[in-house]
Amino acid sequence: MSAHAAAATRLVYNDPGWIDTVAAWLLALLWILPLVYAVWTAFHPTEFSTRFVLFAPLTLDNFSRAWAAAPFARYFLNTTLLVTMILACQLVLSTLAAYAFARYEFFGKKLLFALVLVQLMVMPDILLVENYKTMARLGLVDTLLAIGLPYFASAFAIFLLRQTFMGIPKELVEAARVEGASAMQVLWRVYVPLARPVYTAFALVSVSFHWNNFLWPLIITNSVSARPLTVGLQVFSSTDQGIDWSIITAATLMSSAPLLVAFLLFQRQFVQSFMRAGIK
């Protein structure tokens, strides 16, 4: 490429005009406005919750009041256990299934794979009523296990890992075979290490999805012992507090904080993970 062409490229396309810049910034400010508003209200005394005075006194009082007003410690524990349990099961089950689809030949392979893909469209979220009945029959209503069970087998993870596994050169597998590795050792020593970026990507997507999941946990739980944060937050803000916005926004920020902080610290990984998960 000549220097002239390089200059032309930059001139024509790479420098957005000031209109673009202004519009992009306005949109961005609009986009984080709710968050900024929540931070303002949560860190200031109640009387400033809707009055914007530059030097209003800062306080952490709202957070301690919110923390004391509902069993948030328990909710945090529940959500952490839930997210960990779901992710662990998803990784194990989908690795095994993806390995079968990527490297074995067997009768009914196409049909079985199509049956997996059905879950990409028909998520457990839609099948609330029947899944509730199943949980009731199993005696699992109001347990963490009941929240997680419908998500343990993830079609999305199976699909993603199968694609990745199929891209791994056969030579590597044969080399391992020659050295006497069994099928499971090949999976563990060749496939899994090479697919690590995909595992990270899936883990981030899965954790943020299940940390935020709401409707199914709302239905299947009815006590503090099994409620995750999202449901706890909703119960807290709709019943206990009337309209004390300072305390509600503090609770809201508290429950989003772990993901938000993780996102701000590992922005690049988050964005790349969501990208990787989205490209088929």
Partner 1 sequence: MQARQAAHAYLLLLPAFVLLVAFTHYPAVASLIDSFYSTPKGARPAVWVGLDNYQQMVGDPVFWKAATNNLWFALATIPCSIGLALVMALWVNERIAGRGFLRMAYFTPTVLPMVAVANIWLFFYTPGYGLLEQITGWFGLPSQNWLGDQRTALGAVTVVAVWKEAGFFMIFYLAALQSLNPSLREAAAIEGASRWYFFRRVQWPLLMPTTLFVMVNAVINAVRMVDHIVVLTRGGPDNASTLLLFHLYEVGFRYWDTGYAAALTMVLLAVLATVALVQFFVLDRKVHYQ
Judge contact between 142 and 226, C-beta under 8 A. Answer: yes
Vertex 31: Cα angle to 25 and 36 (nearest 5): 100
Under 8 Å between Cβ of 263 and 79: no
What stretches of 29-147 adopt beta strand conformation (E)? none
Q: Which residue type occupies 7?
A: A
Residues 90-119 that bind partner 1 (CB under 8 A): 92-94, 96-97, 99-101, 104-107, 109, 112, 115-116, 118-119
Among 70, 149, 173, 198, binds partner 1 (CB under 8 A): 149
User: Restricting to residues 32-61, which ones interact with partner 1 according to CB under 8 A?
Assistant: 32-35, 37-38, 41, 50
Distance CA 182, CA 82 (A): 33
Measured from the CB of residue 269, what is the shortest distance to partner 1 in angstroms? 12
Residue 175 CB, nearest approach to partner 1 (Å): 20
Answer yes or no whether residue 248 interacts with partner 1 by CB under 8 A: yes
SS3 23: helix
| Among 72, 191, 202, 245, contact with partner 1 (rule: CB under 8 A) | 245
Number of residues located near partner 1, criterion CB under 8 A: 100
- Report whether 58 contacts 246 (CB < 8 A): no
Determine contact, residues 86/210, Cβ cutoff 8 Å: yes
CA–chain centroid gap for 223, Å, is 24
The yes or no reply on residue 218 touching partner 1 (CB under 8 A) is yes
Interacting residues with partner 1 between 62 and 91 (CB under 8 A): none
12 touches partner 1 (CB under 8 A): yes
158 binds partner 1 (CB under 8 A): yes
Counting contacts by CB under 8 A, is residue 225 touching partner 1? no
Quick one: which of 214, 224, 240, 269 contacts partner 1 (CB under 8 A)? 214
